[in-house]
A and B are shown apart, each in its own frame.
Chain A
Amino acid sequence: MATQDISSSPLSPYVAEFKRFVSDTWLGYAMVLPAVIMLGAIIVYPTLRGIQLAFFEVSLLNPDQMTFVGLSNFGQMLSDATFKSALWHTVLLTAVAVSLQYLLGLGLALALKEKVPGAGFFRSASMITWVLPGIVMVIIFRFLVQPDFGPANIVLAKLGLETTYWFGRPGVAFPLIVVMHVWRNVPFYAIALMAAMKSIPETQYEAARLDGAGPLQAFRYITLPQISYVSMIMIVLHVIFTFNNFDIVYLSTGGGPLGNTEVMSTYIYKQAFEQYALGYGASMALVMLIIMMAFTVVYVRLEARD
């Protein structure tokens, strides 16, 4: 029986590649496989299932009975005034809250970076708002604005100003929601931005001073460019957090009064779990997913180009 030297065979490069794959790469794949399976089970499958539901009429009470309706769920959105209002509130809330969070966080970071007395304590204490559970924060704010005994109303009454249950007042409830988002997240921005600022070599500021640059120019040409990457991450993360946020609105106002604080996540919840319209809710969630993906891609590309 003729024998063949593998090393001289035309298949030898492939055999060698396969051996290398088995010995090196295969082990790598094996190591990441559990994580891939886990991610597939808890992220990919639910996402694909949600996308699928968006094209069906499905009731929460009978999720096995699905009727394919094509794009009609999306057509329904065009004539749904509450959807349009909720989408507008969501975009407005995200834009205002994230802008304020960034500006105030930046200011706080600049302050904390300086060697002022008590800065260390304040750095630790300021994180409290961020680590508080959402429900606790909402309870605190609801207590603050309670009629009669809420501290905010007590102060207003002492000043001879109007008091009321502010979460129940159209025109005020929405700004209060913004305030809660800002109150919660500013410290996180501050700590992250401060960490980025601390990584900038002091020699750059010294060189700028020698060249005659003032504090504003140093901030504009040294600090800002070198915290831009952290800024981008913070902004992208918080746009997504705020756009998708459910608990703050749902627990504080339930979307009222008069729909003034209805946002996409609360409206989707109501459609899916109160109106039983699982398919319609999924289609709105898909719209949210597309908006967020588009924002993230565009923003990251713009930032990379800069």
Chain B
Amino acid sequence: MLFWEYTFPNDDSPPIWKDTFKENYNARGDAPLTIGRFSYEDLRQKFLTGARTGDPDVIEGVLAHLTEYIKAGHLEPLDDRVEELDYFDGFVDSALDAMRYQGKLYGLPYTGNGRALIYRMDVLEELGQEPPETAQEFQEIGRLINKEVDGIQAYHNCTKDGSVRAFQEWMSHVYQHTDQLYVPEGDAWALNIDADTLGQIFDNWYYQVWAADEPLGNPDQLGTGWQVNDPGYLNGQFAFIECGTWLRGWTTGTNINDTDATATLLNENTGVGHLPYGDGGSKGTFLEVKPIMMNSHSDQKDAAWDAIATFASPDTMNAMGEDSPGNAMTPVHDEVESTIDNENWEPFVDVFKTGRALAKVGWGPVREPFYRLMQEVSYGKTDPYKAGTKLHEELTALESEL
């Protein structure tokens, strides 16, 4: 029984989660378990091209992968099998809904989070400011930070071409204006946002950040991805970033300059809030829910189910919280204890509730025009509202392909 993943911690810490999963699997199943680790990009590519061989039997991934795998016919519906699970009723509805397509359940969730505004409480306190609720307030405070506080930049977001994180950040702001970017319409999909709103999102989150006269971000960091974003915040370079729960326990590693300083920053000076929204928007964010799925071409489906049922069980998920606390801060099951141990991080629970899962469309063709136009706006080559109109045209043209 072959299981491909990219989620177990890959550091020197004791593999509590992985070991617990193996023990639970061995207690339930007979088939020998082999675990293979690949980056999510590799997992996706290998599975899309090779799933028909029957390997791997079980795969873990992100929500966008689930959609693609379903459309490729590589996922086995689990509806009949989940009836036997005594813990099935405990899954959070929104997380479970994210696993469904056309009424069928194609995976079980094991972790989830909503993207939140991560901010420096000490910086805001120094300036006598409250966390921003609207994009307008956010920009005003950001410019104040850049003007008044030395050694820190107000904000950073991801603008690298092809960056998955950049797409997720953009979708977070889309979800502040619409429940879904595309909605089903008959047998096809229809774009569910207007051009002006797309332009406003480009303006608030890319033009004002990178290309305006007083940019919120550091133009030297234009074109960078999470490799600058997350470590930059953890090393005290930024006052605001958009991030998920994984940041909480990230105090060591090659990207961290000073472990003690980062621990202090996360424990004492970091606050969490809803992402600021623009005109006509409201609270909303990208919901990241990760599924574990079964290969429909597997010749060991019973063993594969044993692995899935074990991996997504509350017992295994509680072990996940022990060595990967960021994965269990906002649990997807009510028998899993939240690992939030600091009141400043509790707003993640509310943020999680406002999260929206990706619609079940193939997102590849949507990402290409977004990256191109996002970069054109960020580099000041295109007016944000013209880019919004252009993006609206291109996304509308994709309706029949999705």
Q: Which A residues form the contact surface with B (CB < 8 A)?
A: 60-62, 142, 146-148, 163-165, 167-170, 173, 253-259, 270, 273-276
A-contacting residues, B281-321, CB 8 Å? none
A62 vs B401: C-alpha distance when bound (angstroms): 13
- Check if B147 is an interface residue, CB within 8 A of chain A: no
CA A163 to CA B228, docked complex, whole Å: 15
Among B227, B364, B365, B367: residue with most chain A CB under 10 A: B364
Contact present for B48 and A147 (CB under 8 Å) = no
Partner of B379, one of A147, A165, A167, A170: A170
For A255, what are the chain B residues with a Cβ–Cβ distance below 8 Å? 161-162
Q: Residue of B at shortest CB range from A254?
A: B162
With the chains together, A165 CA to B228 CA distance in Å? 10
* 25 sample A-B contacts, Cβ–Cβ < 8 Å, listed by A number: A62-B73, A147-B220, A163-B220, A165-B224, A167-B223, A168-B159, A168-B223, A169-B222, A253-B160, A254-B163, A255-B161, A256-B162, A256-B223, A256-B371, A256-B375, A257-B161, A257-B222, A270-B162, A270-B368, A273-B45, A273-B364, A274-B367, A275-B364, A276-B362, A276-B364
Report chain A residues within 8 Å CB of B161: 253-257, 259
| Closest residue of A by beta carbon distance from B70 | A61
- Residues on B with C-beta less than 8 A from A169 are 222-223
In the complex, which of the residues A61, A165, A253 contacts B220, with contact meaning CB atoms closer than 8 Å?
A: A165
Q: Are A168 and B162 in contact (CB under 8 A)?
A: no
Chain B residue, CB-CB nearest to A258:
B375
Does B68 have its Cβ within 8 Å of any Cβ on chain A?
yes
Closest to B382 in A: A258
* In the complex, chain A residues whose CB is within 8 Å of the CB of B37: none
Given contacts A62-B72, A259-B375, 17 further A-B pairs with CB under 8 A are: A60-B48, A60-B49, A61-B68, A62-B71, A147-B220, A167-B223, A168-B160, A173-B223, A254-B160, A255-B162, A256-B223, A258-B375, A259-B372, A273-B45, A274-B367, A274-B368, A276-B364
Number of A-B contacts (CB under 8 A): 83
Which residues of chain A have C-beta atoms less than 8 A from B228's C-beta? 146-147, 165
Complex: A168 Cα to B166 Cα, angstroms: 14
A106–B18 Cα gap in the complex (Å)? 53
B237 at the interface (CB under 8 A from A): yes
Within 8 A of A (CB), among B353-371: 362, 364-365, 367-368, 371
Give the CA-CA distance A61 to B371 in the complex, in Å. 22
Binary contact readout B33-67 vs A (1 if CB under 8 angstroms, 0 otherwise):
00000000000010011000000000000000000
Across-interface contacts of A257 in B (CB, < 8 A)? 161, 222-223, 375, 379
Report B-chain residues with C-beta under 8 Å of the C-beta of A164: 219-220, 222
What is the minimal beta-carbon distance from A122 to any residue of chain B, in angstroms?
A: 30
Show the binding face of B for A, using Cβ within 8 Å. Answer: 45, 48-49, 68, 71-73, 159-163, 218-224, 227-228, 237, 362, 364-365, 367-368, 371-372, 375-376, 379, 381
A228 vs B73: C-alpha distance when bound (angstroms): 54
In the complex, what's the smallest C-beta–C-beta distance from A15 to chain B, in angstroms?
48
5 closest residue pairs by CB, A with B: A168-B223, A256-B161, A254-B162, A164-B220, A254-B161
Q: Give chain A nearest CB distance to B156 CB in angstroms.
A: 10
Q: Chain A's nearest CB lies how many Å from the CB of B43?
A: 12
Interface contact B375-A165, CB-CB below 8 Å:
no
Pair B220/A258 contact, Cβ less than 8 Å: no
B367–A168 touching, CB < 8 Å: no
Task: Determine if A61 and B223 form an interchain contact, defined as CB atoms under 8 angstroms apart.
Answer: no
Name the B residues within 8 Å of A168 (CB-CB).
Answer: 159-160, 221-224
- In the complex, chain A residues whose CB is within 8 Å of the CB of B372: 259
CB neighbours (8 Å) of A173 from chain B are 223
Between A169, A253, A258, the greatest number of chain B beta carbons within 10 A of the residue's beta carbon is seen for A258
Q: How far is the CB of B132 from chain A (nearest CB, A)?
A: 25
Contact A148 B237 (CB under 8 A): yes
The answer for the CA separation of A173 and B379 in the assembled complex, in Å, is 14
A269 vs B219: C-alpha distance in the bound complex, in angstroms? 29
A259 CA to B371 CA, complexed, in Å: 10
B71 contacts which chain A residues (CB < 8 A)? Answer: 61-62
Contacts of A62 in B (CB 8 A): 71-73
Most central of B49, B220, B222, B224 by chain A CB within 10 Å: B220
